[in-house]
């Protein structure tokens, strides 16, 4: 069996270091530089010929992270790596997964095309914004589930009157899976947007009076939806309100929104590095989960044991 080598892009270097350490391999040596005009240049500083190569990089802004990832894949193919698995803990542009109005791009499909065209043999990611994005790829996709990270943490909270909530209608399946696992009730916060990142109105469908509510979402960008939902749930009589989200994008006034909200805590992961610390944000690491998945993929074993 070919040997494993793990490399990291600049955007996810800390997480990649933890994954490699748990796996038991040092991170591979590489160099990423910029020309004066901002053009990127990448090269591997060691032989990768005939290896099972795992490239770890979340496609977070700026777009340099995406371009660097594409260059890493291309360089790997040209350096005769046997098999290239792209590990993308946070898959960006996934919110643009359909034509919801005329004359717009389907960016998630474009991202899939770019990664495949660059030479990726396999994608490993976590909690896509929409599960059907897996169908945009003509290569195997390992879609890891955040429940393996969040369920143990929720259990140790020992909440008596647990209710799960979806911050919008589109996320009901995600919230329902948690509610089913804990044999708890579920409510929905139905929202209407004027435009992206701006909520016009929201209402709660279901009873939360005296309940300990946990909002479930895949990502938090400005955190406007989660914070507005938390405030509304408290108005409706919720005892406590927490939120879990896999990908902490947290742009714009996200940190201010979280601090000013009724949230007890926002429970998230390190698929994206936080820009600043907050007493209300609890970060759980995904390093162990990805390290186990990498080992199983390399050993040609099923990854279903990693799911709850």
Percent of the chain with pLDDT over 70: 96
Residues 51 and 164 in one domain: no
Amino acid 308: pLDDT: 78
The full length of the chain comes to 308
pLDDT band at 196 (very low <50, low <70, confident <90, very high): low
Integer Cα distance of 41 and 34 in angstroms? 6
Residues 188 and 159 in one domain: yes
Structurally, the chain folds into a number of domains equal to: 2
Q: 39 labelled as ligand-binding?
A: yes
Residues 35 and 53 in one domain: yes
Does residue 217 surpass a pLDDT of 70? yes
Amino acid 170: pLDDT: 82
Residues 186 and 158 in one domain: yes
- pLDDT digits over 224-250, tens only? 989 999 999 999 999 999 999 999 999
Residues 224 and 291 in one domain: no
> Contact 199/227 with Cβ under 8 angstroms?
no
Amino acid 100: pLDDT: 86
Catalytic hit among 191, 211, 228, 292: 191
pLDDT (average), residues 157-168: 93
Residues 61 and 165 in one domain: no
Residue 86 pairs in a beta bridge with: 55, 123
> Could you tell me the CATH number of the domain that includes residue 222?
3.40.50.2020
Q: 224 labelled as ligand-binding?
A: yes
**Within 13 Å, how many C-alpha atoms sit on residue 186's CB side?**
20
pLDDT band at 202 (very low <50, low <70, confident <90, very high): confident
Provide the domain limits for residue 103: 4-145+287-306
Amino acid 203: pLDDT: 87
Residues 226 and 152 in one domain: yes
Mean pLDDT of the chain: 94
- pLDDT digits over 80-107, tens only? 999 999 999 999 999 999 998 899 999 9
Buried b (16+ CB within 10 A) or exposed e, 295-306: ebbbeeeebeeb
Of 289, 303, 10, residue with least CA distance to 150:
289
Q: 142 labelled as ligand-binding?
A: no
pLDDT band at 52 (very low <50, low <70, confident <90, very high): very high
Does residue 158 surpass a pLDDT of 60? yes
Q: 172 labelled as ligand-binding?
A: no
Residues 152 and 267 in one domain: yes
Does residue 1 surpass a pLDDT of 80? no
- pLDDT digits over 254-277, tens only? 999 999 999 999 999 999 999 999
Amino acid 197: pLDDT: 53
Q: Which helix (H) or strand (E) holds 53?
A: strand 52-56
Per the annotation, the verdict on 234 as an active-site residue is: no
Q: 103 labelled as ligand-binding?
A: no
Residues 128 and 222 in one domain: no
Q: 134 labelled as ligand-binding?
A: no
pTM of the entire structure? 0.93
Residues 120 and 251 in one domain: no
Residues 113 and 84 in one domain: yes
Residues 154 and 272 in one domain: yes
Does residue 293 surpass a pLDDT of 90? yes
Q: 240 labelled as ligand-binding?
A: no
252 Cβ contact partners less than 8 Å away, ≥ 6 residues apart:
197, 221, 222
Helix (H, G, I), strand (E, B) or coil at 69: helix
Burial class (CB in 10 A: 0-12, 13-18, 19+), 83: middle
Q: 299 labelled as ligand-binding?
A: no
Q: Which residue has tokens 């790997």?
A: 76
Per the structure block, which two tokens stand in for 202?
Answer: 């929201």
pLDDT (average), residues 134-162: 96
Percent of the chain with pLDDT over 90: 88
Helix (H, G, I), strand (E, B) or coil at 147: helix
């Amino acid at each position: 069996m070919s040997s494993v080598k793990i490399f990291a892009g600049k955007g996810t270097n800390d997480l990649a270091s933890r994954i490699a350490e748990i796996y038991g391999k040092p991170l591979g040596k590489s160099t990423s530089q910029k020309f004066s005009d901002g053009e990127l240049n990448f090269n591997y500083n060691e032989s990768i010929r005939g290896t099972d190569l795992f490239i770890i990089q979340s496609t977070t802004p700026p777009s340099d992270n995406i371009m660097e990832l594409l260059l890493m894949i291309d360089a790997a193919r040209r350096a005769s790596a046997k098999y290239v698995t792209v590990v993308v803990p946070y898959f960006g542009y996934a919110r643009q997964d359909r034509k919801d109005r005329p004359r717009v791009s389907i960016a998630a499909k474009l991202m899939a095309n770019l990664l495949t065209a660059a030479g990726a043999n396999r994608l490993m990611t976590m909690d896509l914004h929409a599960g059907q994005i897996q169908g945009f790829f003509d290569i195997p996709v390992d879609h890891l589930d955040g429940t393996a990270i969040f369920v143990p943490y929720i259990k140790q909270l020992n909440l008596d009157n647990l209710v799960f909530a979806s911050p919008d209608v589109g996320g009901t399946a995600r919230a329902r899976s948690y509610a089913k696992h804990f044999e708890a009730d579920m409510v929905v916060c139905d929202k209407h947007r004027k435009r992206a990142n701006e909520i016009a109105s929201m209402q709660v469908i279901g009873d939360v009076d005296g309940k300990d509510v946990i909002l479930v979402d895949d990502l938090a960008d400005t955190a406007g939806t989660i914070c507005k939902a938390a405030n509304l749930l408290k108005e409706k009589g919720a005892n406590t309100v927490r939120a879990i989200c896999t990908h902490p994008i947290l742009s714009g006034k996200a940190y201010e929104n979280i601090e000013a909200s009724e949230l007890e805590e926002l429970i998230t992961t390190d698929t994206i590095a936080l820009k600043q610390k907050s007493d209300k944000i609890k970060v759980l690491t995904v390093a162990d989960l990805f390290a186990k998945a990498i080992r199983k993929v390399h050993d040609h074993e099923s990854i279903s044991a990693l799911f709850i």
